[in-house]
Amino acid sequence: MVPDDLMSTLLVFRTEDGRPLNDFEISNSLMNLLLAGAETTTSLLTNVVWRLLEDPGRWAELVADRSLIDRAIEESLRFDAPVLGMFRTSLHEVELAGVPIPAKSKIHANYGAANRDPAVFECPDEFRLDRPQEQLRKHIAFGRGAHVCPGAQLSRLEANIALTALLDAFPGLRLENSGTRIDPFNFWGRKTLPVSW
């Protein structure tokens, strides 16, 4: 019988050499999921509210037209990726953009930089609610392919629900200042975001 929940899957999982995961590997995997899920969604929410209130016209657009919520969330993910990047280890020697990378090298894939690539995104340093959908689909804030975040859709849904509730309750929300950034170097979000209404 194949397990259909994460905990059971981790308990029966075997590595390439047939070894089960040890207690540290299981607890570390679960802790990463718990922290990553909470931290990224919190940062996504503070980032999208920050950018929408930074230009009061943006907030007013969403108050008037809720169909822009998903677009605002995707543009926020592109513009202010909650996780700035991820470390990986090269399995074998490889060349990337003409640079040799030895086997077992630590590599930092920088999502924040990739999401501002002018070859992919028109006016990449502008937060835009009118960015074409075909461009928005190219951001990698939640990774891509086999390395996509398993909680990406849940985070988007939570952001949509929270943003809708904020727009309903506080249509006159105003930004007092841009607040302060969270401390971990690899995460991007607001530790404080002073607002008034």
Structural domain boundaries of the chain? 6-82+129-196
Q: Is the pLDDT at 6 greater than 90, yes or no?
A: no
Q: Is the pLDDT at 160 greater than 90, yes or no?
A: yes
Q: What is the predicted pLDDT for the residue at 159?
A: 95
Residue 153 tokens, joined: 């859709």
Residues 6 or more apart in contact with residue 83 via CB below 8 angstroms: 36, 40, 111, 141, 186, 187, 188
Sign of the C-alpha dihedral, residues 159, 164, 170, 172? positive
Q: Is the pTM of this model over 0.75?
A: yes
Q: How far is CA 87 from the centre of its chain?
A: 15
Listed in sequence order, the DSSP H helices in 65-151 are 69-79, 111-114, 133-136
* pLDDT more than 70, % of the chain: 99
pLDDT, tens digit, 9 for 90 and up, residues 39-70: 888 999 999 999 999 999 999 999 999 999 99
Residues 6 or more apart in contact with residue 127 via CB below 8 angstroms: 51, 54, 55, 58, 75, 76, 79
Residue 28 tokens, joined: 């570390």
CATH of region 6-82+129-196 = 1.10.630.10
